[in-house]
Structure 1
Amino acid sequence: MTRVLGIEGTAWCASAAVFDVTGDDVRIFSDAYQPDSGGIHPREAAEHMRSAIPAVVAEAVELVESKHGAPGGAIDAIAFSRGPGLGPCLRIAATAARALAGSLDLPLVGVNHMVAHLEIGRHRSGFDAPVCLNASGANAHVLGYHDGRYRVLGETMDTGIGNAIDKFTRHVGWTHPGGPKVERRAKDGEYVALPYVVKGMDFSFSGITSAAQDAIDDGTPVEDVCRGLQETTFAMLTEVSERALSLTGADELVLGGGVGQNGRLREMLETMCAERGASFYAPEPRFLRDNAGMIAVLGAKMYEAGDTITIDESRVRPDFRPDEVPVTWRADDGSDRAPTGTEPAQTRGAEAIVDLDRDGGSAYKRRLSKAYRHPELDARLRRRRTRSEARLTSEARRVGVPTPVVFDVDPREGLLELQFVGDADLRDAISETRVRRVGEHLARCHGAGFVHGDPTPRNVRVRRGEAADDLVYLIDFGLGYHSDHVEDYAMDLHVFEGAVAGTADDPAACIGAFEDAYRAVGDERVLGRLREIETRGRYQ
């Protein structure tokens, strides 16, 4: 029987837990830091950890002694959160873990905090290969398992969702944490429109926070702004989660992170999954907020896989990204999606259902109304994206990019009739030659002054033939727009490369070929900006 004691101390919550694999029993002891005003101050949080970590660890050890005897013989390993998080807090928790492991002569397991959020959901749900939305204070990203690691399929390009909400509530004058206060006030508010920023699989919250603050300053009732803030940011998270399900072919979604305690966010995700026939799971609140239970559970899995570290290897990593973690504890469970074979007559993506008439040469696309979104927001997005898709699909053809011919469009109903092109998505037929074509096509679009907006392998069609005769089409320009900014062009490249990294068998070779082709046709400054964007993801 494996029993692991876990220690969590990444930011604001000092926590220790004991996990017994037999019986799947998790006991958690926590002491959360509560600032007198404003948000979390790193120095004050560290001061809290200095007294709170020893106390919660002592409670966990006492539990083991009372039930199982001397801890040296009753505990198999000590797990702790190595990162990401606040350096001073991480170091205090790690010091406690090292001291306890050393005194009891036990192995040490270093756990990635964000992967633990995912794995506790996977463990409690029994899902095999879920996509995970992590929505926490300092972070927001969507993860999917591929080729032995959890890949970041999409993430915030500036601040975490919890921090964005807290920044707004500090402006209003509310104390930390702000999320529960926003949730309560939003129930009495009317929806107000705020900026909606989804760029392919990524998203941004800073502009929304600023707009919400401006609305308060302009006299908009706080209840209405809270409603608009929730409806907008959570719809963005839900949309990107659905895009990740569509990209990977997964049919399971788990939610992690403290913001996941918000009932409206869980409702949106559950509604989205029900509409597309996917399963959804959100752990109970004690496993959503920062806690040592998830550290102990993942620590036990890693320990049983032989994934332990020495004291010398146990330095903390404040910028520890989840895609840096080799997933040693999972067997090859078939979660890497196999090609789908012959396409059905009807396909479903993240936004639309497409009916294929191969004999007639047409594809009939219906951009679906999303029940999880506020009706006003939903109607606005469907109209705008349908118009953009029709207009930019045609503009791309005029600059030499293979795209479907647009036969008919009805923006109000979200309908498009398009030429049927290709015989597979690039996702199911990826190769270096084909991604080179994508690089060339995007460079031509950018040279003409517009971006695709969502150039994932699901939005590239391939007509397979002899290698030299392959045709590669760009489709679904619904998130596209006109721009002359290098930043926007580089985001197109970032979205494509992130999707390739999360789905391709040899992503490095494909990404290299893609960038070489873009460089040959496009502007070198865009690739330079891409390198800069890559440093902006959380914990880069």
Structure 2
Amino acid sequence: MTVVIGFEGSANKIGIGIIRDGEVLSNPRRTYITPPGQGFLPSETARHHRAVVLTVLQEALQQAGLTPADIDCVAYTKGPGMGAPLLTLALVARTVAQLWGRPLVGVNHCIGHVEMGRLITQAHNPTVLYVSGGNTQVIAYSERRYRIFGETIDIAVGNCLDRFARVIKISNDPSPGYNIEQMAKRGSRYVELPYTVKGMDVSFSGILSFIEEAANKMLASAECSAEDLCFSLQETLFSMLVEITERAMAHCGSQEVLIVGGVGCNLRLQEMMGVMCKERGAKLFATDERFCIDNGAMIAQAGWEMFRSGQVTELHDSWITQRYRTDEVEVTWRD
């Protein structure tokens, strides 16, 4: 039996999870929440992570009923993500690995999401839509790499939603995307927005500029409600994501879709993707907020796979990299 502890802190969530041979033993998490209308800055986020990291580590061990002696390997998020928060967790993981005398594994954050999704849903070889605050990619496995078939050419879909939430001053608790989703359920009028799909890629910055301007005019003149704008934004963004996912499925001859990442919890996105899958006779796999939002167990799971296939990170190599591409990692644990 192999037990791996995973440290995640690439954005405003800090999570530490423990995995034993595909079983999630613990997965505590804390979120740094800012006031409405504000984003989270790297330095302040890192300060939050430093303040709670030892408490979360203690919780992870207690919930799993384990001691440091039971841990076989320490995994941490190497990137991509925000520099200061990544560095904070990397330092803690490196220290813990040395104190406990355990090997260290640096994990690609995106691959953590994919491996967690595969573990929880038991999807065999899916086309993956990875959607979060920092990333938007359509991924499929081929020849020992997770290949990127399409992605955003500017901002991520979660970033687009978060920034719109700031414009209309929606609360960041528990997350701006979740609050937009709830408001969208009460929206009924569709406001036409730019729809920007470029081949296999998508662009969200133009839509954000357009809806920011529209919000100021339309809400002032009561032409439509904030709920209508949330509804319209979701429908447009998610239609674009479903389109490029379907195109990648057709290219790969795939009959499975797995949605991962924080935006993957959105039930409307899952519903729209489900309709497309049904029309193609394909299967949709998705997880709930325990596993699609950034968490420590996903880093532990990817670390478990890497460690078991012989990958370890030497101490002199245990830095972080903010721009760490999904397709840079050699996938040594899959056929």
Correspondence 1:482-501 to 2 at 5 A? none
How far apart, CA to CA, are the structure 2 residues paired with 1:260 and 1:148?
Answer: 25
Q: Per-residue deviation at 1:239? A: 0.7
Letter in 2 for 1:174: I
Letter in 2 for 1:165: L
Cross-structure match for 2:163:
167
Cross-structure match for 1:448:
none
Cross-structure match for 1:50:
50
Cross-structure match for 2:31:
32
Q: TM-score, normalised by structure 2?
A: 0.94
How far apart, CA to CA, are the structure 2 residues paired with 1:62 and 1:185?
Answer: 38
Work out whether 1:283 is the aligned partner of 2:287: yes
Correspondence 1:404-423 to 2 at 5 A? none
Is the contact made by 1:156 and 1:203 (CA closer than 8 Å) also made in structure 2?
yes
How far apart, CA to CA, are the structure 1 residues paired with 2:137 and 2:102?
Answer: 34
Cross-structure match for 1:316:
320
Is the contact made by 2:265 and 2:287 (CA closer than 8 Å) also made in structure 1?
no
Cross-structure match for 1:358:
none
Correspondence 1:68-147 to 2 at 5 A? 68=66, 70-72=67-69, 74-147=70-143
Q: Per-residue deviation at 1:287? A: 0.6
Q: Per-residue deviation at 1:316? A: 0.6
How far apart, CA to CA, are the structure 2 residues paired with 1:316 and 1:25?
Answer: 25
| 1:176-204 CA-partner distances (Å, limit 9, x unpaired) | 23212211111121211101000110000
Residue 257 (structure 1) aligned to one of 258, 261, 265: 261
How far apart, CA to CA, are the structure 2 residues paired with 1:301 and 1:229?
Answer: 37
Cross-structure match for 2:221:
none
Residue 184 (structure 1) aligned to one of 182, 206, 214: 182
How far apart, CA to CA, are the structure 2 residues paired with 1:180 and 1:15?
Answer: 19
Is the contact made by 1:39 and 1:175 (CA closer than 8 Å) also made in structure 2?
no
How far apart, CA to CA, are the structure 2 residues paired with 1:62 and 1:208?
Answer: 46
How far apart, CA to CA, are the structure 2 residues paired with 1:71 and 1:172?
Answer: 46
Q: What is the DSSP-based 3-state SS (H/G/I as helix, E as strand, rest coil) of the residue aligned with 1:330?
A: coil
Cross-structure match for 1:435:
none
Q: What is the DSSP-based 3-state SS (H/G/I as helix, E as strand, rest coil) of the residue aligned with 1:80?
A: strand
Is the contact made by 1:79 and 1:108 (CA closer than 8 Å) also made in structure 2?
yes
Cross-structure match for 2:210:
211
Q: Per-residue deviation at 1:62? A: 3.4
Is the contact made by 1:7 and 1:97 (CA closer than 8 Å) also made in structure 2?
yes
Percentage of pairs with the same residue: 41
Q: What is the DSSP-based 3-state SS (H/G/I as helix, E as strand, rest coil) of the residue aligned with 2:258?
A: strand
Q: Per-residue deviation at 1:30? A: 0.8
Q: What is the DSSP-based 3-state SS (H/G/I as helix, E as strand, rest coil) of the residue aligned with 1:18?
A: strand
How far apart, CA to CA, are the structure 2 residues paired with 1:200 and 1:183?
Answer: 27
Is the contact made by 2:105 and 2:312 (CA closer than 8 Å) also made in structure 1?
yes
Correspondence 1:153-164 to 2 at 5 A? 153-164=149-160
Q: Per-residue deviation at 1:174? A: 2.0
Q: Per-residue deviation at 1:61? A: 2.9
Q: Per-residue deviation at 1:63? A: 4.0
Q: Per-residue deviation at 1:80? A: 0.7
Letter in 1 for 2:144: G
Is the contact made by 2:26 and 2:61 (CA closer than 8 Å) also made in structure 1?
no
Q: What is the DSSP-based 3-state SS (H/G/I as helix, E as strand, rest coil) of the residue aligned with 2:250?
A: helix
| 1:364-404 CA-partner distances (Å, limit 9, x unpaired) | xxxxxxxxxxxxxxxxxxxxxxxxxxxxxxxxxxxxxxxxx
How far apart, CA to CA, are the structure 1 residues paired with 2:94 and 2:61?
Answer: 15
Cross-structure match for 1:15:
15
Is the contact made by 1:82 and 1:317 (CA closer than 8 Å) also made in structure 2?
yes
Letter in 2 for 1:259: V
Residue 240 (structure 2) aligned to one of 236, 243, 252: 236
Q: What is the DSSP-based 3-state SS (H/G/I as helix, E as strand, rest coil) of the residue aligned with 1:209?
A: helix
Letter in 1 for 2:215: I
Deviates more, 1:243-252 or 1:53-62: 53-62
Is the contact made by 2:25 and 2:63 (CA closer than 8 Å) also made in structure 1?
no
RMSD: 1.3
Q: What is the DSSP-based 3-state SS (H/G/I as helix, E as strand, rest coil) of the residue aligned with 2:279?
A: helix
For structure 1, the residue ranges without an aligned partner over 5 or more in a row are: 332-540
Work out whether 1:245 is the aligned partner of 2:249: yes
Is the contact made by 2:24 and 2:297 (CA closer than 8 Å) also made in structure 1?
no
How far apart, CA to CA, are the structure 1 residues paired with 2:296 and 2:334?
Answer: 21
Q: What is the DSSP-based 3-state SS (H/G/I as helix, E as strand, rest coil) of the residue aligned with 2:76?
A: strand
How far apart, CA to CA, are the structure 2 residues paired with 1:169 and 1:14?
Answer: 22
How far apart, CA to CA, are the structure 2 residues paired with 1:124 and 1:274?
Answer: 21
Letter in 2 for 1:186: A
How far apart, CA to CA, are the structure 1 residues paired with 2:169 and 2:43?
Answer: 22
Correspondence 1:457-468 to 2 at 5 A? none
Is the contact made by 1:83 and 1:319 (CA closer than 8 Å) also made in structure 2?
yes
Letter in 1 for 2:208: T
More contact order relative to length (CA 8 Å, sep ≥ 6): 2
Q: Per-residue deviation at 1:118? A: 1.1
Is the contact made by 2:171 and 2:179 (CA closer than 8 Å) also made in structure 1?
no
Q: TM-score, normalised by structure 1?
A: 0.59
Higher radius of gyration, 1 or 2: 1
Q: Give the ranges of 4+ consecutive aligned residues of structure 1 lying more than 6 Å apart after TM superposition.
A: none
Letter in 2 for 1:58: Q
Is the contact made by 1:7 and 1:15 (CA closer than 8 Å) also made in structure 2?
yes
Q: Per-residue deviation at 1:12? A: 0.5
How far apart, CA to CA, are the structure 2 residues paired with 1:192 and 1:14?
Answer: 37
Letter in 2 for 1:230: Q
Residue 152 (structure 1) aligned to one of 148, 152, 155: 148
Is the contact made by 2:6 and 2:296 (CA closer than 8 Å) also made in structure 1?
yes
Number of equivalences:
326
Letter in 1 for 2:118: R
How far apart, CA to CA, are the structure 2 residues paired with 1:156 and 1:25?
Answer: 32
Correspondence 1:295-444 to 2 at 5 A? 295-331=299-335
Cross-structure match for 1:406:
none
